[in-house]
């Protein structure tokens, strides 16, 4: 994967850049070649001393990725020049058994499974930390009142704890999918020229099983050269997880707007500064996550587009997968890491949340008042009455409470105390606490 000193730090992490580097891919391919030789020796297909000689040479530091990459242009993939270089590095009596019975795609696809597994082992801890931060916010702010918003307009009161619990559920659901994929969907690729392993006679399935055991990967029912469901599942699971933290980032961006001021990112020297406006404190962490979401969607889309492949071997679609897969792992790492930083130091302005909830003059409680009135005057009448009072309060610029007290239809059924009770946001939270408890229980079960 190509990297840029200017842009890569925003769209990856140092650990992930290492995990998907040329050196890591090269070593993964060599790990597959070594495991293949060992599995073939186990099955009696090649001599044991040949397998040991091959394994001894399967070290990435013995090969230069740059000329291998250049040679891949003519060869069509980097495995062909790698096999040639590996063969040249081994004594002739063992060299004839390098890559025995395999095809280039077997090596590269299986290497991809190793890369994804190692990447997931780095990704999941950060996503766990995101979930933990969401769980803490949900519990600590279960009573912190704020406006619930639909279509960007104030709707009914909620608590910030409920919003964080919604974040939590999306994160743990996407986390569960990634963990399941790591455990059940990463499998070796081994089919030889056209998926028959004919060159190995009756030993093909035995060698495939041995290769899977050697690499601690799944042993699939058959080769999957042009069945790209596994790759698409990886792309889908990563993009979904990035989308889950992207939802958090979008909410933070919206609630950090000057006019809202309900959330703020962690403060640090130089963080969020503008090159033109000295007063600015931009939500740079959330912005970075949002950028990762857009990139992840596009990269996953490339993997989906590559699913339809010709006959027994693709003419271009397989080749199109290699770099997008690495880039998707990178942007996922960045999204998780930035989300973790964002949530660990998130500043919650509870007073501003309460003030904003009341900024509409109490109109966010219209549904609650309508319910109280419906219990006395019937639903149809109550709906018409409260709608008229609400529109009148907005048109006249008066507080909702004042408009209700001045409305004879409302006062015929509700006392001033009943109106005030219906206007109290804390009295109209429904199952909020129960939902938070259920989200926290789901989180504890996942742990």
**Which sign does the torsion angle of CA 239, 246, 117, 87 carry?**
positive
Of 375, 373, 412, 147, the C-alpha closest to 387 is 373
**Which sign does the torsion angle of CA 80, 89, 112, 73 carry?**
negative
pLDDT in tens, 165-188: 999 999 999 999 999 999 999 999
Measured in whole angstroms, the distance separating CA 188 from the mean position of its chain's CA atoms is 24
pLDDT in tens, 414-425: 999 999 999 999
Q: What percent of the chain has pLDDT over 70?
A: 95
Task: Give the Cα separation of 101 and 197 in Å (integer).
Answer: 7
pLDDT in tens, 203-224: 999 999 999 999 999 999 999 9
Task: Give the Cα separation of 345 and 353 in Å (integer).
Answer: 18
pLDDT band per the 50, 70, 90 thresholds, residue 446: confident
Instruction: Examine the residue annotation and report whether 214 is marked as an active-site residue of this protein.
Output: no
pLDDT value of residue 200: 96
pLDDT value of residue 274: 43
Beta strands in 77-212 (DSSP E): 145-150, 153-159
pLDDT value of residue 3: 62
- Per the confidence metrics, is the pTM higher than 0.85? yes
**Mean pLDDT for the chain?**
94
Q: What is the CATH number of domain 14-354?
A: 1.20.200.10
Which residue among the candidates 271, 281, 313, 383 is catalytic per the annotation?
313
Average pLDDT over every residue of 128-143:
98
pLDDT in tens, 252-282: 999 999 899 999 988 765 555 444 444 546 7
pLDDT band per the 50, 70, 90 thresholds, residue 328: very high
pLDDT value of residue 282: 76
pLDDT reading at 8 higher than 80:
no
Average pLDDT over every residue of 11-22:
94
Which residue among the candidates 48, 216, 274, 431 is catalytic per the annotation?
274
Output the six-digit token pair for 383. 């709906």
Q: What percent of the chain has pLDDT over 90?
A: 92
Task: Give the Cα separation of 267 and 318 in Å (integer).
Answer: 45
pLDDT in tens, 333-357: 999 999 999 999 999 999 999 999 9
pLDDT value of residue 226: 97
Runs of H (alpha helix) within 150-283: 160-184, 204-215, 229-255
Residue with tokens 């804390």: 426
Instruction: Examine the residue annotation and report whether 340 is marked as an active-site residue of this protein.
Output: no
pLDDT value of residue 279: 52
- Mapping DSSP onto H, E and C, the string for 48-62 reads HHHHHHHHHHCCHHH
* Angstrom distances, CA of residue 92 to CA of 36, 50, 64, 196, 350: 18, 10, 22, 28, 74
pLDDT reading at 2 higher than 60:
no
**Distance between start and end Cα atoms, the chain:** 34
Residue ranges per structural domain of the chain: 14-354, 363-422
pLDDT value of residue 113: 98
pLDDT reading at 360 higher than 90:
no
pLDDT value of residue 271: 57
pLDDT band per the 50, 70, 90 thresholds, residue 76: very high
Average pLDDT over every residue of 12-29:
96
Which 3 state secondary structure label does DSSP give 427? helix
pLDDT value of residue 1: 46
Task: Give the Cα separation of 195 and 42 in Å (integer).
Answer: 21
Average pLDDT over every residue of 38-66:
97
pLDDT reading at 158 higher than 90:
yes
Average pLDDT over every residue of 46-53:
98
Query: What is the number of helices (H) and of strands (E) in the chain?
Result: 19, 4
């Amino acid at each position: 994967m190509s990297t840029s000193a200017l842009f890569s730090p925003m769209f990856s992490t140092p650990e992930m850049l290492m995990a998907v580097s040329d050196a890591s891919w090269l070593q993964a391919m060599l790990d597959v070649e070594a495991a293949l030789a060992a599995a073939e020796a186990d099955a009696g297909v090649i001599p044991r001393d040949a397998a040991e000689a091959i394994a001894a040479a399967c070290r990435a530091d013995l090969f230069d990725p740059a000329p291998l990459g250049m040679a891949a242009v003519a060869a069509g993939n980097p495995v062909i020049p790698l096999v040639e270089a590996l063969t040249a590095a081994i004594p002739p009596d063992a060299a004839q058994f390098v890559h025995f019975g395999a095809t280039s795609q077997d090596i590269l696809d299986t290497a991809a499974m190793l890369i994804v597994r190692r990447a997931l082992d780095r990704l999941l801890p950060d996503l766990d930390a995101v979930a933990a931060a969401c769980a803490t916010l949900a519990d600590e702010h279960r009573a912190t009142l704020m406006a619930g918003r639909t279509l960007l307009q104030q709707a009914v009161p909620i608590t910030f704890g409920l919003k964080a619990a919604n974040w939590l559920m999306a994160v743990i659901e996407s986390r569960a999918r990634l963990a399941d994929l790591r455990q059940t969907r990463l499998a070796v690729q081994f089919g030889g020229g056209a998926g028959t392993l004919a060159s190995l006679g009756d030993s093909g399935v035995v060698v495939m099983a041995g290769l899977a055991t050697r690499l601690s990967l799944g042993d699939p029912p058959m080769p999957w050269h042009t069945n790209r469901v596994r790759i698409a599942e990886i792309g889908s699971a990563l993009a979904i997880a990035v989308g889950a933290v992207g939802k958090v980032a979008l909410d933070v961006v919206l609630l950090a707007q000057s006019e809202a001021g309900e959330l703020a990112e962690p403060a640090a020297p130089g963080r969020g500064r503008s090159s033109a406006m000295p007063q600015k404190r931009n939500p740079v962490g959330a912005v970075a996550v949002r950028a990762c979401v857009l990139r992840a969607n596009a990269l996953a889309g490339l993997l989906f587009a590559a699913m339809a492949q010709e006959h027994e071997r693709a003419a271009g679609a397989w080749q199109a997968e290699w770099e997008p897969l690495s880039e998707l792992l990178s942007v996922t790492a960045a999204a998780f890491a930035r989300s973790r930083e964002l949530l660990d130091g998130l500043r919650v302005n509870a007073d501003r949340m309460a003030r904003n909830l009341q900024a509409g003059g109490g109109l966010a409680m219209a549904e609650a008042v309508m319910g109280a009135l419906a219990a006395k005057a019937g639903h149809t009448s109550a709906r018409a009455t409260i709608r008229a009072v609400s529109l009148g309060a907005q048109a006249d610029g008066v507080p909702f409470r004042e408009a209700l007290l001045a409305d004879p239809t409302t006062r015929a059924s509700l006392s001033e105390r009943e109106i005030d009770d219906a206007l109290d946001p804390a009295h109209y939270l429904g199952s909020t606490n129960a939902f938070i408890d259920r989200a926290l229980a789901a989180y504890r079960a996942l742990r």
